[in-house]
């Protein structure tokens, strides 16, 4: 399984599907999750991609311009051979040495390299791509050389169709998240008590991914200054400075009760114990919240594929968008004073969205001869 570790949005779905294959088809297949740029030795390209991702989190406008330029170029992707030449050449060589039966790609650049490897080197492996942007399908994902492209929603499918991908090559299969995430052992009261929070308050889980980069943490500081009676669990990830900022809020005397966490290994318990998840629009975080029936309060977005997540939440009234301190505090007052979150949660339950981890695993196994195809090629 090929991915690029730019944040966790590409890695986590690949790991989830690998684990599902190993659980559902024990001993039948040898499955390896590979960060293709790093493992192929394309170190400069790997560092460039990861630095670019961190930069886009801190400064979104250049990334948004890049997205629009990619869309403008459409099917013409020759520039990838120039910008990421090291990755293309070394990635193809790695695939040639590895000789896989099937590549399951969760990053469009990995799909591009895999298609090139088949075209240039005459390799015969099967190629299945999963679009980890659950409501988008921008032109990098639209690779006609992929045998199948799997998507989470009809919205993503429609985007690919507009980019010229034949409908018979698209399958709508639910978003894959690790099945362990859905197995929550600790109940809400236990988690709230362990964190020293008020069991009578509504609880917000604030996260900005593993990098801990985002303006949402300044919103939490404003929330504490306004002394709204809410519990706030902050997860700073690997960001030491953000963790120190949130630690100071824990020591403040305020009606807003804050629990400051660095890197969390029990995110499923924290999500389940919360009434809403707050932070940047990101695919994995949003889908995990949706599957555990928790509304999201979005505070920012990096590129347009993230904006599509916000649009979906607003269209179906399953979340809020608060890009400024003023709008966030106003929304939090409504959370304290009325049933806005309850209404969002009820709307979310009516969508009946479920993980597709086992279905994706079954589809891949089917491509390797274990059964028929899974998923719909129609909306």
| pLDDT tens-place values along the chain, 379 residues long | 676 665 568 999 999 999 999 999 999 999 999 999 999 999 999 898 888 877 887 788 999 999 999 999 999 999 999 999 999 999 999 999 999 999 999 999 999 999 999 999 999 999 999 999 999 999 999 999 999 999 999 999 999 999 999 999 999 999 999 999 999 988 999 999 999 999 999 999 998 776 667 789 999 999 999 999 999 999 988 888 889 989 999 988 789 999 999 888 899 999 999 999 999 999 989 999 999 999 999 999 999 999 999 999 999 999 999 999 999 999 999 999 988 899 999 999 999 999 999 999 999 999 998 754 455 554 3
In 209-295, at which residue ranges do the beta strands (DSSP E only) sit?
230-235, 257-261, 276-280
Q: Are residues 121 and 18 in the same domain?
A: yes
Q: Are residues 253 and 342 in the same domain?
A: yes
Q: Are residues 168 and 185 in the same domain?
A: no
pTM, 2 dp: 0.91
Instruction: Give the span between the Cα atoms of 37 and 353, in whole angstroms.
Output: 33
Structural domain range at position 71: 2-177+355-367
Q: Are residues 173 and 185 in the same domain?
A: no
Phi-psi region of 141 (alpha: psi -120 to 50; beta: other; left: phi over 0): alpha
Q: What is the CATH number of the domain that holds 149?
A: 3.40.50
Question: Would you say residue 379 lies in a domain?
Answer: no
Q: Are residues 237 and 96 in the same domain?
A: no
Polymer length in residues for the chain: 379
Strand order in the sheet with 102-105: 34-35, 2-3, 102-105, 126-130, 148-151, 170-172
Q: Are residues 197 and 229 in the same domain?
A: yes
Q: Are residues 148 and 92 in the same domain?
A: yes
Question: Would you say residue 205 lies in a domain?
Answer: yes
Q: Are residues 116 and 209 in the same domain?
A: no
Q: Are residues 163 and 205 in the same domain?
A: no
Total of domains in the chain: 2
> 3-class SS at 2?
strand
Q: Are residues 106 and 198 in the same domain?
A: no
Question: Would you say residue 310 lies in a domain?
Answer: yes
Q: Are residues 298 and 359 in the same domain?
A: no
């Amino acid at each position: 399984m090929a991915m690029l570790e730019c944040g966790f949005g590409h890695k986590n779905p690949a790991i989830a599907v690998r684990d599902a294959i190993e659980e559902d088809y024990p001993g039948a297949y040898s499955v390896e999750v590979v960060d293709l740029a790093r493992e192929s030795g394309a170190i400069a390209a790997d560092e460039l991609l990861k630095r670019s991702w961190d930069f886009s989190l801190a400064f979104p406008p250049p990334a948004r311009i890049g997205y629009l330029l990619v869309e403008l170029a459409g099917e013409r992707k020759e520039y990838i051979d120039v910008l990421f030449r090291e990755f293309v050449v070394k990635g193809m060589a790695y695939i040639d040495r590895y000789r896989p039966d099937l590549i399951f790609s969760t990053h469009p650049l990995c799909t591009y390299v895999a298609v090139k490897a088949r075209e240039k080197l005459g390799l015969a492996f099967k190629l299945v791509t999963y679009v980890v942007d659950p409501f988008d399908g921008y032109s990098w994902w639209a690779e006609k050389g992929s045998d199948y492209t799997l998507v989470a929603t009809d919205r993503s499918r429609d985007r690919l169709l507009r980019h010229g991908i034949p409908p018979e090559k698209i399958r709508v299969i639910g978003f894959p998240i690790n099945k362990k995430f859905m197995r929550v052992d600790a109940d809400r009261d236990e988690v709230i008590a362990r964190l020293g929070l008020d069991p009578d308050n509504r609880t917000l889980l604030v996260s900005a991914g593993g990098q801990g980069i985002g303006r949402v943490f300044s919103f939490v500081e404003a929330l504490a200054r306004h002394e709204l009676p809410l519990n706030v669990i902050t997860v700073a990830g690997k960001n030491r400075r953000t963790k120190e900022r949130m630690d100071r809020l824990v020591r403040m005397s305020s009606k807003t009760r804050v629990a400051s966490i660095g890197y969390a290994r029990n995110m499923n318990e924290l999500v389940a114990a919360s009434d809403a998840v707050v932070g940047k629009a990101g695919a994995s975080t949003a889908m995990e919240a949706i599957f555990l029936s928790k509304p999201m309060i979005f505070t920012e977005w990096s590129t347009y594929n993230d904006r599509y997540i916000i649009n979906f939440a607003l269209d179906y009234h399953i979340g809020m968008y608060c890009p400024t301190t003023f709008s966030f505090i106003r929304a939090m007052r409504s959370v304290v004073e009325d049933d806005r979150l309850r209404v969002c949660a009820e709307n979310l339950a009516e969508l009946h969205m479920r993980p597709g981890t086992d279905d994706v695993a079954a589809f891949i196994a089917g491509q390797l001869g274990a059964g028929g195809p899974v998923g719909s090629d129609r909306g």
